[in-house]
Every structure is written in C-alpha cells, then in structure tokens.
Amino acid sequence: MDRCTTKLTAVARTAQMRPLRTILSQCRCASSTPTIPPCDFKPQPYKGITYESAIKVRKANLNPALLTYYKKPVMVYQGHMQWLWDTEGKRYLDLFGGIVTVSVGHCHPKVNAAAKAQLDKLWHTTNIYLHPTIHEYAEKLSEKLPGNLKVVYFTNSGSEANDLALFMARLHTGVFDVISLRNAYHGASPYLMGLTALSTWRYNVPTGFGIHQTMNPDPFRGPWGGARCRDSPSQTIRHCDCPEGQCHAGDMYIGQLEDVLQYSFPKGKVGGFFAESIQGVGGSVQFPKNFLKRAFEMIRARGGLCISDEVQTGFGRLGTDYWGFQTHGVIPDIVTMAKGIGNGFPLAAVVTTPEIAASMSKAIHFNTFGGNPVACAIGSAVLDVIDAEKTQQNAHVVGTYCIQQLMKLRDEFEFVGDVRGKGLMIGLELVKNKATRAPLPPEDVASIWEDTKDMGILIGKGGLYGTAFRIKPPMCITKEDVNFAVAVLRKAFENYRDRK
C-alpha cells in the first residue's frame, strides 16, 4: 500500500472515527497543489523598480481609490499569450485577461509586429488629414457588423464610447430620457454614472439626469428564474415549471420594463435603451432567452434607439457568434466596443447607421487620438488573428468545456451556487447555501480567491456583493489550461471547506 492508503487505513481503525473530509485533509498526497501546464516561453530577467518601492509609489503618487487585487498584490511585468509572470519569476494562468481586455493573447507576435511596423512609419497625425490605417481599418471593422451598421467613430476607451452613444441617442431621437438595467456597468465617467447601476461604483453627487433603470432580468438572483431560462450550457438550479418554449420569468421581467416605461417616461417616448449582452462587472449575468429581443421591440415602438454594449462580449468571446447581441437574435441601432478590440491597446469604437450618424453632423465632432494610426494598425491585426487562428471557435469549444467542468464543482460544493456564461465569458457565484442563494461573506470569498492566486491562477471578481468569480481569459486558452484551473479551484474549495 502507498502512504495515503496506509494512513487512511490506520485512521479508520481508531476508536473515534472522524469525518472523511477531515481524514483526507490530513493526507498530504491527497491534497497536493495542481501542477501548472508547461510553457516554452522564457521571460526576460526583471531589472525594474523594486516591489517595495512600487508599493510606496502606489500609495503616494497614484489614485488612492485605485482597486488593488490581493493582500499581497501581484506585480506583473511580462506576458505571453495566456500567461503572466511576476517580478519574482512566478508564472500565472491569466483567467481575467486584463479585465476581459486581452482577446487573442498577451503580446501576440502578429499584433506586436503590426504595432512595431506602424511605429516605424507614423505614430500620429490628426484625422483632419487622410492616413491609410484609419480608412483600411474602418472598412474592415464595419464588414464584421450586420445590417446597416456601417459608420465608425473611433474613441480610446469603453467609457468614452458609451458616453458618445448616449449623446448620439439623445441627439437623434430628440428625447432626453433613456433606460438601462440594474446591475449594469457602462462606465464610471460623470456622464455615465447614472447609466451604471451598481452602488459600489456610484458617488454621492448628482448623476443620472434623465436616466432610469428597470429590474435586472437575472434568472439566478432575481425574483423570477428557472432551470431553462438561459442561453448557456449551464442553467440555474432553481425549479422551472414553464412549458417548453415559454419563459414565465422573461414575461415578468418584460412586464417590469413596460411598467417603468409607462410611468417614468414622457408618454410614448424613450431616447434609448442600453444593455450588455452578458453583464460583465455585474458578475457575468445572463438574461432569460428572448428578453433582449422583446425589450428592443418595446423600445423601438416608442421611437427609441437600442444600444448594445459589446465592450466585453464582442469579437468572438461568446463563441457561437462574433457579437454578443447576435446570440439574442437582435441587431442594435448603435454598438459600442472596446477592450478586446485592441487586445489591450487603448482603442474603442462606436458603430451606427448612416441615418443616426447624420444627426452628429450638425456640429463638428472630433477626437484627437481616436483612430490613431498605431491603434488602427493594432485593431486591424487583432481582426486578422481572430480569423486566422480561429479564436472565436476556440472560445466556443474550450469555453463550453470549461463551463461543463465548473458545473461539476457546483454539484460538488454547497457554496458554489451558480455557474453561467457562454464561450469564454463565464461566472461562478459563491453562496452560503444553494437554497437561500444568500451571498457568501466577503472574507470567505477572499480566502478562496487568495488561495487560487497562490496556486497560480488569476481570476476576477464581480457582482454587487463581489461573490462572482469572473473567468474571461485570453481566447487562446486550451483545455489543458482549463483542467489546471478547475483543479486549482477544487483545491481552493476543499481548503475552504476543511477550514469551516
């Protein structure tokens, strides 16, 4: 017999039997740390600022409200595809992709080459002049969108893109009042703070003039939801008695939207409706099937525009489609995009129809850095890599596999309440118990989260209570990587269970 079997046999013979999980926790062989998959890339030796000095600078010279992950923050200095290295040489599997920003891989060689080639030709010139990259890229990007979504406005961030889309909708419709969903995140600029409906991101200043929110259609945490609501490989564990092809929860949430429109808006009028295809910062929340389609119909019947926030869900991340809104069977009037558009380079865009764009021609609209030559060269290269390396297909195959493996953890651990998502836009929510769905206390979530970092994976957190693990890695991740990540999560969950 091996050491584990010998030890377990000896313990089992003792007069006072203990729970099996206690016995297993005492067995070193049964609790070894998962082994990180191999990587041939060799990072350069680190020679920069010391860790201690960086901590001092962060406290003295950087935004004091800046969120810093982990008790001992990770100081990252080099990345390659799905991997990150800290200044001590430790390698991590990046399951958060720079907050869902690294789409095709850290420092992807083809994207790097495009940036370097453009740097040698032209860093910047005003867009009052013609330069090739902005025109080549605008045409290539617009070809990726359906319908009459043909006019591109380049910006530098997702917040800037949503800011412009909000302005555009009000200007085109002549209606000031717009609506978004509770639990939504669309940016933290003063203009957008009212559109974002998460209290953790709101300051006590006047915001949200003319902006309203309706109940978030969350099949897991909302008042209504069942086991057949979502377009996901993983459904909620809540009971569902809806007939095939019907969704009682969706009906109820649509009723809430109709109620807000009827009571809180100018009669029969609305300027626009903002929605993410899957809520990102809110914890990877998915809506009941057909909710977004019915919501768009209601908004358009009142003369409003439908704005799809694809900042996190675009560029193939959901696997089955290039854009998240396509998974809902809709075509918006305005699309905003950022993050994965430039694989981490500051780049964003608003795409709309020629008719809506014409409303913006009543005055000069200009963005100094929007459409910068380097940014456009990088954005163009990202589109090429997504097509050539089939990262959208990989997001579908590997993402579905990841969700299926995480579902096993949900079934195994009482405090894993929900697994949801599509492609590589995945959430795992922690609860006190599955029956009440009450959130797991923050200190308990933090203890699990710290454990996963120590074992070599970096994951995000989201949701109002910070209890949803956000798994949104670069789309080059492999099934071997998923197996490692799931093994780490299982070990962290076991450690937490044994501590309790």
How much of the chain, in percent, has pLDDT values that exceed 90? 87
What strand order describes the sheet that includes 416-422?
416-422, 425-430, 468-471, 460-462
Examine the pLDDT at 20 and tell me if it is beyond 50.
no
pLDDT reported for residue 129: 93
Cα 468 to Cα 4, 219, 232, 335, 415: the distances in Å are 35, 15, 17, 26, 12
Q: Express each pLDDT in 167-190 by its tens digit.
A: 999 999 999 999 999 999 999 998
pLDDT average, residue stretch 285-307:
97
State how far the Cα of 23 lies from the Cα of 8, in Å rounded to an integer: 7
Half-sphere exposure of 283 (CA within 13 A, CB side): 24
pLDDT average, residue stretch 340-358:
98
CB 167 within 8 A of CB 307: no
- How far from the centroid of its chain's Cα atoms is residue 284's Cα? 6
pLDDT reported for residue 25: 43
pLDDT reported for residue 313: 98
pLDDT reported for residue 18: 43
pLDDT average, residue stretch 263-274:
96
How much of the chain, in percent, has pLDDT values that exceed 70? 94
The two structure tokens encoding residue 350: 């608003």
Cα 202 to Cα 193, 208, 215, 276, 466: the distances in Å are 6, 10, 18, 19, 15
3-state secondary structure of 451: helix
**What does the DSSP 8-state code read for residue 441?**
P
CB 186 within 8 A of CB 154: no
DSSP codes, 79-128: EEBTEEEETT--EEEESSHHHHT-SS-BT-HHHHHHHHHHHTT-S---TT
Higher pLDDT among residues 232 and 126, named by residue: 232
Which CATH code of 3.90.550.10, 3.20.20.70, 3.90.1150.10, 3.20.20.370 fits the domain covering 33-100+391-499?
3.90.1150.10
pLDDT reported for residue 77: 96
Q: Express each pLDDT in 61-89 by its tens digit.
A: 999 988 899 999 999 999 999 999 999 99
Please list the alpha-helical segments (H only) found in 389-441: 391-412
What strand order describes the sheet that includes 178-181?
151-155, 348-352, 334-337, 305-309, 272-276, 178-181, 211-214
pLDDT reported for residue 31: 58
The two structure tokens encoding residue 156: 């530098």
The pair phi, psi for residue 452, each rounded to 5°, is: -65, -40
Q: pTM here?
A: 0.92
Q: Express each pLDDT in 359-404 by its tens digit.
A: 999 899 989 999 999 999 999 999 999 999 999 999 999 999 999 9
Please choose, from the candidates 462, 496, 457, the residue with its C-alpha nearest in 3D space to the C-alpha of residue 477. 457
Examine the pLDDT at 331 and tell me if it is beyond 70.
yes
Pairing of strands 334-337, 305-309: parallel
Of 363-367, 404-408, 414-418, the range with the lowest mean pLDDT is: 363-367
Domain boundaries, the chain: 33-100+391-499, 110-387
Half-sphere exposure of 235 (CA within 13 A, CB side): 13
The pair phi, psi for residue 379, each rounded to 5°, is: -60, -40
State how far the Cα of 138 lies from the Cα of 468, in Å rounded to an integer: 36
pLDDT reported for residue 439: 97
State how far the Cα of 443 lies from the Cα of 71, in Å rounded to an integer: 12
Cα 4 to Cα 7, 8, 29, 488: the distances in Å are 5, 6, 6, 21
3-state secondary structure of 402: helix
Please choose, from the candidates 181, 192, 155, 154, the residue with its C-alpha nearest in 3D space to the C-alpha of residue 274. 181
Residue that is written with structure tokens 């808006």 in the block: 265
pLDDT reported for residue 65: 86
Looking at domain 110-387, its CATH architecture is 3-Layer(aba) Sandwich (3.40)
Examine the pLDDT at 23 and tell me if it is beyond 70.
no
